Amino acid sequence: MGQPEQTGAVIDHAAISRRLEALDIKEDPVRIREILAKALELKGLSSQDVEALISVSARDLLDELFHTARTVKESIYGPRIVLFAPLYISNLCNNNCLYCGFRSENKEIRRRALSQEEIASEVKILVEQGHKRILLLAGESLPHEGFSYILRSIETVYKTRSGRGEIRRVNVNLAPLSLDEFGELKAAGIGTYQLFQETYHPETYSFMHPSGPKRDYAWRIGAFDRAMRAGIDDVGMGVLLGLYDWKFEILALLRHVEHLEASFGVGPHTISVPRLEPTVGSQIASNPPYPVSDIDFLKLVAILRMAVPYTGMIMSTRENAELRRTTLELGISQISAGSRTNPGGYADGVQDHVAQFELGDHRPLDEVVRDLANLGYIPSFCTACYRLGRTGRDFMAVARPGAIKLRCDPNALSTFLEYLIDYASPGTMLAGEKLIAAQLDRMEQQQRTRASRMLDRVSAGGRDIYV
């Protein structure tokens, strides 16, 4: 597994705790409004700024905070929402994470690692739904072939076709790897490497992970450094909200962001904000030690959007449809849809007792797409940045000033029309056509001309059209 790493260089946990203890819970409206004005400059916020926003509770200031987050999101990302599906290939795991349905001591679930044929079957189903991007996940204990199982699985995903459809980008959520393994993962053609620290609080981390390789906090927190050194410059971080005080977690996560920026010149490509949800065989999952209320959840989403405006923010199907709609306004730019969190769940057609956690949004992809369109969001299946090498620093160079939407908006419309023609139900087609027409009307002439030409190519039978 490698030698333990020093964590102090990444995050000073004691300093964060001291800052929170000294935090003045009395709101200073003048200071809060200065910070919100600063956020509109789209250059991010300091830790001190975030500490001040954490304390906001007055209704008028909270409304202003939410309004500012909406403006920041619209300025950088516009109305597009990227869609993906998780693909669980194995629930074999030798970690005993107390909050997880896959934990090693949970005897209430059936263990399963999909064969390559079963993976291809799962992928075919996702492709036939219209998905172009997946997140591949597996427990830390792999079948007998070890890490090569992951590499073979990625290859299987990419080579599986159904009709004119295929998965164009595989992102992965995997246990921490060695430098050499990260190099192999890079060579396999992944998009983003995603890993959650779960909790940044060391004592809580130790309690929640009583056994297994995941118990090594330092090895986990150093994973992004190794990934970056191996050439994977798109990484996705996150915390599992509910294990410890969300205020500490957000401040620690932002320290982790600062560490990556200082060390490699690029921050995370995505940040995820999952809340702890019930699962079979875990009392902690059903009774979070530090439950996060809906209003605090919305507040932390908005704060993160302002603090790291260039970073994509992901919302999974853990949350219900109504709450997911609200988070789209405040900062979320990527969502999963039609998810199953159990190996073989798409072929089985159910989210069953071997699932990692319970879902809050059970809607199929087509219904989610139709809902987004009716709300005025562009459902995007675009993978252009990965294909053009627009990752890491190159991506940040256009994302930070908001220029990315000049490319992404036409790409989103192109992939959306592709979905509508190939997979949409009549109701979704109608909603989508109205949305595309409205979005074209809002574009400046040069961008409208580019987007219209791309849409004409898709209508004429072209696929995978992007700039």
pLDDT in tens, 445-458: 999 999 999 999 99
| Under 8 Å between Cβ of 243 and 198 | yes
pLDDT at 7: 44
Q: What is the DSSP string of 228-247?
A: HHTT---EEEEB-BTSS-HH
Mean pLDDT (the chain) is 92
pLDDT tens per residue, range 188-212: 999 999 999 999 999 999 999 999 9
pLDDT of the residue at 451: 95
Cβ pair 54, 23 in contact under 8 A: yes
Element (H, E) at 22: none
pLDDT tens by residue, 282-319: 899 999 999 999 999 999 999 999 999 999 999 999 99
pLDDT at 353 over 60: no
Q: Which residue has the higher pLDDT, 384 or 396?
A: 384
Choose which CATH entry (3.40.50.1820, 3.90.850.10, 3.20.20.70, 2.40.30.10) describes domain 80-387. 3.20.20.70
Q: What is the pTM of this model?
A: 0.93
pLDDT digits (tens, 9 = 90+) for 147-167: 999 999 999 999 999 999 999
Tell me how many degrees the CA angle 132-134-138 measures, rounded to the nearest 5: 160
Residue 321 phi/psi, 5-degree rounding, is -60, -40
- What interhelical angle do 404-423 and 426-442 show, nearest 10? 160
pLDDT at 109: 86
| pLDDT value of residue 405 | 63
Lowest mean pLDDT among 73-82, 246-255, 427-436: 73-82
- Give the per-residue pLDDT at 279: 86
Least confident of 108-117, 223-232, 333-342, 382-391: 382-391
| Separation between Cα atoms, residue 243 and residue 208, nearest integer Å | 8
pLDDT digits (tens, 9 = 90+) for 2-60: 433 444 468 999 999 998 888 877 789 999 999 999 999 999 999 999 999 999 999 99
165-166 and 161-162: which strand pairing? antiparallel
SS3 136: strand
* Residue 391 pLDDT grade (very low, low, confident, very high; cuts 50, 70, 90): low
Across the range 238-251, mean pLDDT stands at: 97
pLDDT recorded at residue 59: 96
Mean pLDDT of 224-253: 97
Of 70-74, 385-389, 462-466, the least confident: 385-389
pLDDT of residue 394: 66
- Tokens 């809906």, located at residue: 294
Q: Which residues pair with 169 in a beta bridge?
A: 133
Query: Which DSSP letter does residue 10 get?
Result: T
